[in-house]
Amino acid sequence: MNCYLDSSVALDWILHLKSVEPIGLKKIETIVSSELLEIECSRVLDRYRLQALLDDVKVSESKKKLKSLLESIGLIEITEKIKKRAKDSFPTIIGTLDAIHLSSALLWAEELRKPFVLLTRDKQMKVCSEALGIEVLGL
């Protein structure tokens, strides 16, 4: 199984908020995400630190987990083609960052020419992905 990883699932794993096992990660061959994942996860960790939701030990552990995750997946560069697709219309309401993620996933799938699933815990991302015919796991 080939998967596109959304930041919501990555953050759940990094912060131990939810188990990722129920979504079937054992069957995965390839995992990719947008380079946006690193930015989003880093911003959340810093925000939680500043809000005192994470202590120094947890911040350090979380950054190590993020680094390990980034080293184990493929990262898709945000190209002009991805930005152009993200500016286009989508079938449902979707935010800017999610549009970049979905555009990255769609263009990766075109190159891959194999089925893939999108891993997300975000409801709007799920609805929009399914409207585009993408199988979604994670919610």
Q: Is the pLDDT of residue 10 over 50?
A: yes
* Secondary structure of residue 136 in the 3-state scheme: strand
Q: Is the pLDDT of residue 32 over 90?
A: yes
Residue 22 confidence (pLDDT)? 45
Q: What is the pTM of this model?
A: 0.89
| Number of domains into which the chain is organized | 1
Q: Any idea what the CATH number is for the domain that residue 63 is in?
A: 3.40.50.1010
Q: Residue 79 CB: number of other CB atoms within 10 A?
A: 12
CA distance linking residue 101 with residue 4, whole number of Å: 9
Q: Is the pLDDT of residue 70 over 90?
A: yes
Q: Supply 110's token pair.
A: 């075109």
86-105 tens-digit pLDDT: 999 999 999 999 999 999 99
Residue 1 confidence (pLDDT)? 85
Instruction: Give the Å distances, CA to CA, from 71 to 60, 65, 85, 102.
Output: 17, 10, 27, 21
Average pLDDT over residues 68-74: 94
Average pLDDT over residues 6-12: 93
What is the full DSSP assignment across 59-74? HHHHHHHHHHHHHHSE
Domain containing 27: what range?
2-137
